[in-house]
């Protein structure tokens, strides 16, 4: 990705320090933060300073590598204690965001490498990050074949650069189409309660010069009913064997409406997001987040000073499931780094 003319990845490692774009400060401030221990990485993931399936996976891989390195220094010469340290670190990392499949994929691979040596753990973590970027680029190239001149695309949450190491998934085909000179237009759902669409997707599209507009989460059905949407593309946090897909809360209703109005609904995700251990969406663990994300919002005043304000009825409580599950029957197809799988042909293009 380019920010002010400079190339960045969302997350990367230099030496024993992990650097990442602080997503909670966007779009109002562009800040690079760092993590020097696996505990720091866990905090960044849990607080959603870094978020999105691929980016979480890369950060988790780096966190596991840092834990393997720390174990070799903090508990040298004691094999049992060394392994216990690494296993406890893995459990801590995997507890940060229970729905995101890429997190578990990365920690598992780096853990196995770390059983051989810290250097192998570091190399594996970097390989996972590099592959995430390469897979996202390939997803964009395949997805671009679905986009015609003038295509109007609706997307939910943020599955662009910021959600992966680079390129993204749902937005990667959009960027490829835009670079090819196609006149593509994006409707970005605001994506309450954390407004990843309004804050992150819109910011990315603005950086790339892609025509777009932010829409309220409940406007998608009306737009589709009026024939104003040609295609829906979302990302995914976990995909079951039968094609059921967990993604940001609100995705399910978009899929149902798309089915009703014959709008193709595609899920863009690398194969690392597919979980062979989940037969269907009923096996998914859905993360429940703090109610304060619903009750409060944060933004700058005219001086740029950030404020957190209550936007709901004082004294009321909120439910805050982070994800929902879209049954496979609503999904037209999956765009992966290996190609397009037209999973369900009942939606017509």
CATH label of the domain that carries residue 17: 1.20.120.420
Residues 331 and 294 in one domain: yes
Give a yes or no: residue 313 inside a domain.
yes
Residues 171 and 311 in one domain: yes
**Domain holding 207: CATH number?**
3.40.50.10470
Residue finishing a domain among 79, 105, 135: 135
d(CA 247, CA 157): 9
Helix (H/G/I), strand (E/B), else coil: 229 = coil
Q: Tell me if residue 7 is catalytic.
A: no
Residues 268 and 329 in one domain: yes
Residues 99 and 247 in one domain: no
DSSP 146: T
Residue finishing a domain among 100, 135, 170: 135
d(CA 135, CA 133): 6
Q: Taking the model in full, what pTM does it have?
A: 0.92
Of residues 237, 244, 275, 324, which has the active-site annotation?
A: 237
pLDDT tens-digit series, residues 161-202? 999 999 999 999 999 999 999 999 999 999 999 999 999 999
Residues 157 and 74 in one domain: no
d(CA 7, CA 337): 22
Q: How many domains does the chain have?
A: 2
Residue finishing a domain among 80, 109, 135: 135
Residues 285 and 333 in one domain: yes
pLDDT tens-digit series, residues 40-90? 999 999 999 999 999 999 999 999 999 999 998 876 555 558 888 999 999
User: Is residue 193 reached through a cis peptide bond, with omega within 30 degrees of 0 on the bond before it?
Assistant: yes
Q: In this structure, are strands 212-215 and 238-239 parallel, antiparallel, or unpaired?
A: unpaired
342 band by pLDDT with thresholds 50, 70 and 90: confident
**Domain encompassing residue 53:** 2-135
Four-CA torsion 330, 335, 341, 345, nearest 10 degrees: 30
d(CA 267, CA 314): 38
């Amino acid at each position: 990705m380019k920010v002010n003319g400079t190339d960045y990845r969302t997350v990367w490692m230099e030496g024993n320090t992990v650097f990442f774009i602080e997503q909670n400060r966007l779009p109002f401030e562009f800040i690079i933060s760092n993590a020097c221990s696996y505990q720091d990485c866990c905090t960044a993931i849990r607080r959603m300073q870094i978020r999105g399936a691929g980016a979480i996976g890369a950060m988790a891989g780096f966190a596991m590598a840092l834990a393997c390195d720390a174990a070799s220094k903090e508990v040298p010469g004691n094999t049992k204690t060394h392994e216990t340290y690494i296993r406890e670190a893995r459990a801590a990392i995997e507890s940060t965001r229970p729905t995101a499949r890429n997190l578990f994929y990365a920690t598992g691979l780096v853990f196995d490498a770390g059983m051989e040596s810290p250097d192998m753990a570091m190399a594996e973590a970097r390989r996972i990050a590099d592959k995430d970027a390469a897979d996202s680029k390939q997803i964009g190239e395949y997805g671009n074949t679905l986009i015609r001149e003038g295509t109007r695309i609706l997307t939910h949450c943020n599955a662009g650069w910021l959600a992966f190491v680079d390129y993204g998934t749902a937005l990667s085909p959009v960027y490829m189409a835009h670079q090819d000179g196609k006149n593509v237009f994006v409707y970005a759902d605001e994506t309450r309660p954390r407004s990843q669409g309004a804050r992150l997707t819109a910011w990315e599209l603005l950086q790339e010069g892609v025509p777009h507009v932010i829409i309220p989460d409940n406007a998608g059905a009306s737009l589709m009913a009026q024939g104003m949407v040609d295609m829906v593309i979302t990302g995914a946090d976990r995909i079951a064997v039968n094609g059921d897909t967990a993604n940001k809360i609100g995705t399910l209703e978009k899929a149902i409406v798309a089915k009703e109005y014959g709008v193709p609904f595609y899920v863009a995700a690398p194969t690392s997001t597919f979980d062979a251990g989940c037969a269907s969406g009923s096996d998914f663990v859905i993360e429940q987040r703090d109610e304060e994300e619903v009750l409060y919002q944060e933004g700058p005043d005219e001086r740029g000073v950030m404020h957190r304000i209550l936007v709901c009825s004082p004294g009321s409580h909120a439910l805050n499931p982070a994800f929902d599950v879209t049954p496979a029957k609503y999904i037209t197809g999956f765009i992966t780094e290996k190609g397009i799988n037209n999973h369900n042909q009942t939606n017509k293009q």
